[in-house]
Amino acid sequence: AQRVTQPEKLLSVFKGAPVELKCNYSYSGSPELFWYVQYSRQRLQLLLRHISRESIKGFTADLNKGETSFHLKKPFAQEEDSAMYYCALRSGGYNKLIFGAGTRLAVHP
Amino acid sequence: ETGVTQSPTHLIKTRGQQVTLRCSSQSGHNTVSWYQQALGQGPQFIFQYYREEENGRGNFPPRFSGLQFPNYSSELNVNALELDDSALYLCASSPGGTGGQETQYFGPGTRLLVL
């Protein structure tokens, strides 16, 4: 079964601390993974995708096929990073996304 | 360039009623996907429309149906509402067609409460 698991509902850190939001997936085939973010009172938006291999707002994510993981990392958290983060997997021959349950990141001053 | 819009923003219905939610896709986008997001959960794929045809469907019963119009706007219809249908309904548009690599752009959602 195709599934995305985000084991932490809440991750609470202090400003300047490193952040790692965990994401594990189950997929038979070549997965395409994404991180979406939802800031307070804003709509869901794409943060980054694994095929781009880029850093956005200081966040990076590496696809580890051996561990079936796509963890999101940032070395120094900022207060403005506080948001809901969703890991997603593109499935099928069309543009269908399978989302995890999300992790709320709270960055404290 | 106008982003994805959805109407209404909030809606209250009672069990057994029918509801229609609307979505206007972003300019230049011909593919619309609908998702249901229950409280505390991630969005769950309902179905997708590409050039007015249903292009894929998630694990939702037939009482969830949709339409896409020639201007690529879309409707989600839910018949015989159940309490569990209470959720945020998200619409997302993308510029391409089947099997595309396109990014999905989400609307703000319609929050449906079924009493």
- pLDDT (0 to 100) of residue B100: 54
Distance in angstroms (rounded) separating the CA atoms of residues B115 and B113: 6
Angle at A87 between CA A2 and CA B96, to 5 degrees: 80
Token duo for residue A88: 């997603």
Residue type, A9: K
Three-class SS string for chain B? CCCCEEECCEEEECCCCCEEEEEECCCCCCEEEEEEECCCCCCEEEEEEECCEEEEECCCCCCEEEEECCCCCEEEEECCCCHHHCEEEEEEEECCCCCCCCCCEECCCEEEEEC
Q: Which residue is closest to B57 within chain A, CA to CA?
A: A96
Region B63-75: mean pLDDT is: 95
- Between residues B96 and A66, the one the model is more confident about: A66
Q: What is the mean pLDDT of residues B103-112?
A: 94
Confidence of residue B101 (pLDDT cuts 50, 70, 90): low
pLDDT per residue as tens digits for the range A34-92: 999 999 999 999 999 887 778 889 999 989 989 999 999 999 999 999 999 999 998 76
pLDDT of residue A91: 77
Chain A interface includes B48 (CB < 8 A):
yes
**Out of B4, B102, B109, whose CB is closest to A95?**
B102
> Does pLDDT of A28 surpass 90?
no
What pLDDT, on a 0 to 100 scale, did the predictor assign at position B1?
Answer: 55
**Out of A22-26, B26-30, B44-48, least confident range:** B26-30
CA A21 to chain centre: 6
- Name the average pLDDT for chain B: 92
